[in-house]
Structure 1
Amino acid sequence: MKLYNSLGPNPHVVRMFAAEKGIALPLEEVDVMGAAHRQPPYATLNPMMQTPAFETDDGQVICEITAICEYLEELHPTPALIGATPGERAETRMWCRRIDLNIIEGRSRAFRATGAREFYKDKIKLLSVEAAQELFALVEDRVLWLDGQLAGKTYVCGDRYSLADIILYCFMTFGAPAGGSHVPPAARNLHALVERIRPRAATAA
């Protein structure tokens, strides 16, 4: 197995997921700042030209972080980070999809069109700055909705730590000052969740 690794929250999700399971993943670094992901050989390996990509022992290449983590869970079911039962797995997948579609995707698109516009302007199609600001507002609304859903919970799936928590942690802390996060001040439950996860050894993966 091999993980094509780089700077960014997406590879961190896979590294952290693997670390929680005690899986030592060999890493091959991809220089995204030098645009190595946008040219062969990596762009041939992953035509989406995004990191990470994961190569199995039999040579299959899997992209998209949820799919990679699902594969690792199939091979190493304990501890269960997606779920030990059909109901648990469905619950984790439901929350991962909600977080990805409502928060992560929008926040990433808005950031590329504003704070990282200079880096991305000649690489991908970007929203206008005005549309990106509106998208930021929509994402914050969804973050506050999620915050309400976290009331009285230890983790996203109740008392069960899961891939949903790992995804939230990696994206909410990436690029923040050391010890900080991108959680809005009003989202107290989400802030508490991030701080609950921060001491875990796997966050350093």
Structure 2
Amino acid sequence: MLVEWQTWIGAHADSVGFVFVGLLLLTYLLEDVAIVCAATLATQGLVNIPVALIAIFVGIVTGDMALYVLGRYGRRLRGLRYKTLTSRYFKYTRKKLVQRPFLNLFLIRFIPGLRTIGFTLSGFMALSPWLFLAAALVATSIWSVLIFTLLYYVGVAASEVFHEIKWLVPVIALSVLLFANLVLSKLLKRRYA
């Protein structure tokens, strides 16, 4: 799937706007795959680095805001509100998010598996949208640049070694990203559990 997306976007690389929109929409489906795709396209010179970075940044931040808004509107569902407010897991999560909201929202960005639920609960708990947006902007800018840069340089090195089999470059990049996600997740969960 990753190679197909990369090929499809690469075929339309002559249109910067099209590539930008393609990468942005891909972040809504699978943001890690979008970052790998953007870094791979940049490695191969099919898209400018700033265009790729801005597309994934805008896509990730707007996706995070959509989760927040979804949680905010979820408060209107009486049954969901009752079930959530009486759940002991929700009480624990709420306590953690309310104690240090900016720090916890910032850290959620780096822990795979917590993003969807954490950002949706932030909206459900009616945390300040400005606080949420600030945490999302700061964390996403660091996350995007860090992961994109790592994958870009892995892609450059891999394309030099595997120039005959270019399809292997996105596979290597995705493997590096999954490994980085796993390591970050374990470190942060251990520290903040």
* Same fold, TM-score > 0.5, yes or no: no
The TM-score bracket by the shorter chain reads: 0.3 to 0.5
Higher-helix-fraction structure: 2
Q: Which has the higher contact order (CA 8 A, sep 6+)?
A: 2
Counting strand residues as a fraction of each chain, which structure ranks higher? 1
Q: TM-score, normalised by structure 1?
A: 0.35
Q: TM-score, normalised by structure 2?
A: 0.36
